[in-house]
């Protein structure tokens, strides 16, 4: 193959190439260090006459230039073609972008905002009471003296100095009564602690929400109204509720508040434990002795207390099966809210 044949072959091959890797192969074959053009150039010194060597050098370099031009031209063609293909096929300008990861409000915090808003509109003021509490505020002043059998209702964590991790938010009741004069409308949404084995429905740490209302002529009718108003706001307008007699030492009478199971509408299902109803809140009229302990005359005033477990309420509302999800900070759970 002489130089002219090699040039013709190179230009024909380059014209046929359909991809950039193939083009690179062709470039190496002809213009690479061991390529055909260099082989011709390496043979020049063997020519005997000076003027032939000069002529051959000029000619081969011209061929080299032609091949380079053809390679460059093909390279541009191929790159433009691949850009057009990307345009048409894989690059969709209307596709949604990749959203950056953002945090979200914890479901319990969100619920707390909702509950707080609802009761603020009804005139209740949010209050706080100590988590680490004197025995008398947690128990004694709420009609639960030491050695009273009803203390067994609460498995309590005690400190060596005799204080307790409060077992309920009701420790705020006597504290607030002593600070204020009726009418008293206060609420609290906060953590409580019990000596419990942890399982899907129990935790050593949980939340309670509680309202206390003390005024003249506070009645069971008002309790019923308040309870239904809130439960309908949370569980839906169609929610049906019922009051059952229930014993709490600091109320008289005491009631357990049940809501009709929204999943089976009373027929009984796995979620409500075949009961058809959920016990969802506890309430009652404040015991006259507790009013007295708070410095309020039970002959002049009466009061109501009403509360529920927000963890449990959310579990029912959202169909969450395990209370531990609220406290373990697992992003797979939290990102769903
Ligand atoms: Zn059910």
Instruction: Give residue 89's pLDDT.
Output: 65
For residue 44, CA distances in Å to 6, 28, 52, 165 come to: 16, 21, 9, 100
Identify the active-site residue in 131, 163, 185, 194: 194
Structure token pair of residue 172: 């705020």
Annotated catalytic residue 15: no
Which has more pLDDT, 105 or 200?
105
Bind-site residues for Mg(2+): 252
| Backbone torsions φ then ψ of 245, nearest 5 degrees | -65, 135
Instruction: Quick: pLDDT tens for 48-57.
Output: 888 888 888 8
| pLDDT, tens digit (0-9, with 9 covering 90-100), for 172-211 | 999 999 999 999 999 999 999 988 888 777 788 889 999 9
Q: How confident is the model at residue 237 (pLDDT cuts 50, 70, 90)?
A: confident
Note the pLDDT of residue 81: 85
How many residues does this entry show for the chain? 337
List CB contacts of 198: < 8 A, sequence separation 6 or more: 204, 324
Q: Kindly give the distance from the C-alpha atom of residue 238 to the centroid of ligand 1, in angstroms, as a whole number.
A: 15
What is the rounded average pLDDT for all residues in the chain?
88
Alpha carbon distance 160, 145 (integer Å): 19
**Three-state SS for 189?**
strand
| pLDDT over threshold 90, residue 255 | yes
Residue 306 annotated in active site: no
Instruction: Name residues whose C-beta falls within 8 Å of residue 145's C-beta, 6 or more positions apart in sequence.
Output: 139
| Interatomic CA distance for residues 208 and 310, integer angstroms | 6
Q: What is the pLDDT of residue 129?
A: 93
- Cα 318 to averaged position of ligand 1 atoms, centre (Å): 14
Among 14-18, 75-79, 136-140, 314-318, name the one with the lowest average pLDDT: 314-318
Query: pLDDT, tens digit, for every residue of 9-41?
Result: 999 999 999 888 899 999 999 998 888 888 888
- CB atoms inside a 10 Å sphere around CB 225: 11
The neighbouring-strand residues paired with 308 are 209, 281
Q: Burial level of 313, CB count in 10 A (0-12/13-18/19+)?
A: buried
Q: Is the pLDDT of residue 153 over 70?
A: no
* Rounded Cα distance, 2 and 9, in Å: 11
Q: Which of 26, 63, 281, 305 is catalytic?
A: 305
Catalytic residue among 27, 112, 168, 180: 168
Q: Region 290-307: what's the mean pLDDT?
A: 95
Provide the pLDDT for residue 90: 67
CA–CA dist 76, 74 (Å, integer): 5
- Confirm whether 37 is a catalytic residue: no
Which residue out of 115, 127, 174, 208 is catalytically annotated? 208
- pLDDT for 301 equals 96
Q: How far is the CA of 277 from the centre of ligand 1 (A)?
A: 7
Catalytic annotation on 80? Answer: no
> How remote is the CA of residue 244 from the centroid of ligand 1, in Å?
18
- Provide the annotated binding site: 252
Please say if 305 is a catalytic residue.
Answer: yes
Residue 154 has pLDDT above 80, yes or no: no
Span from the CA of 327 to the centroid of ligand 1 (angstroms): 25
Asked whether the predicted pLDDT for residue 66 surpasses 80, the reply is: yes
How far, in Å, is the centroid of ligand 1 from the Cα of 261?
A: 5
Please say if the pLDDT value at position 263 is more than 80: no
Q: What percent of the chain has pLDDT over 70?
A: 97
Q: Residue 24 and residue 72: Cα distance in Å, rounded?
A: 11
Region 245-270: what's the mean pLDDT? Answer: 88
- Collapsing DSSP to helix, strand or coil, 266 comes out as coil
pLDDT of residue 88: 67
Catalytic residue (choose from 6, 129, 211, 251): 251
Q: How confident is the model at residue 87 (pLDDT cuts 50, 70, 90)?
A: low
Q: Are 211 and 307 in contact (CB under 8 A)?
A: yes
DSSP classification of residue 101: P
278 CA → ligand 1 middle, Å: 8
Distance (Å, whole) CA 24 – CA 121 = 76
- Tell whether omega for the bond before 156 is within 30 degrees of 0, i.e. cis: no
Q: Which residue has the higher pLDDT, 87 or 104?
A: 104
* Backbone CA torsion sign across 154, 157, 160, 161: negative
For residue 4, count CB atoms less than 10 angstroms from its CB and return exposed for 0-12, middle for 13-18, buried for 19 or more. Answer: exposed
For residues 127 and 201, give the distance between their C-alpha atoms in angstroms, rounded to a whole number. 27
How far does residue 241's CA lie from ligand 1's centre (Å)?
A: 14
Q: 209: how many CB neighbours lie within 10 A of its CB?
A: 22
pLDDT band at 320 (very low <50, low <70, confident <90, very high): confident
Contacts of residue 164, defined as CB under 8 A and 6 or more positions apart, other chains included, come to 132, 133, 135, 138, 139, 156, 157, 158
Active site residue 131: no
């Amino acid at each position: 193959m002489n130089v002219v044949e090699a040039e013709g072959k190179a230009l024909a091959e380059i014209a046929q190439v359909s991809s950039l890797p193939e083009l690179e192969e062709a470039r190496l074959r002809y213009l690479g260090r061991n390529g055909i053009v260099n082989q011709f150039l390496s043979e020049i010194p063997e020519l005997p006459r000076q003027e032939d060597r000069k002529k051959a050098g000029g000619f081969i370099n011209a061929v080299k230039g032609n091949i380079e031009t053809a390679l460059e031209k093909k390279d541009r063609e191929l790159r433009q073609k691949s850009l057009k293909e990307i345009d048409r096929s894989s690059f969709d300008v209307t596709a949604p972008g990749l959203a950056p990861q953002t945090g979200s409000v914890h479901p319990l915090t969100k619920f707390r905002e909702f509950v707080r808003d609802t009761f603020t509109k009804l005139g209740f003021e949010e209050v706080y009471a100590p988590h680490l509490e004197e025995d008398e505020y947690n128990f004694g002043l709420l009609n639960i003296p030491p050695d009273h059998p009803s203390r067994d209702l609460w498995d309590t964590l005690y400190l060596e100095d005799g204080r307790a991790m409060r077992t309920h938010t009701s420790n705020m009741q006597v504290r607030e009564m002593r600070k204020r004069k009726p009418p008293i409308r206060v609420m609290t949404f906060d953590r409580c602690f019990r000596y419990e084995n942890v399982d899907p429905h129990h935790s050593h740490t949980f939340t309670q929400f509680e309202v206390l209302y003390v005024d003249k002529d506070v009645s069971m009718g008002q309790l019923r109204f308040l309870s239904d108003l809130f439960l309908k706001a949370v569980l839906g307008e169609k929610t049906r509720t019922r009051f059952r007699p229930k014993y709490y030492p600091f109320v008289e009478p005491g009631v357990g508040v049940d809501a009709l199971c929204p999943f089976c509408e009373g027929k009984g299902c796995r979620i409500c434990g075949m009961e058809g109803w959920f016990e969802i809140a506890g309430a009652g009229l404040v015991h006259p002795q507790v009013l007295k302990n708070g410095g309020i005359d039970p002959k002049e005033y009466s009061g109501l207390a009403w509360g529920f477990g927000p963890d449990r309420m959310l579990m029912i509302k959202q169909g969450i099966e395990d209370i531990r999800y609220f406290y373990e900070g697992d992003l797979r759970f939290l990102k769903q809210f």
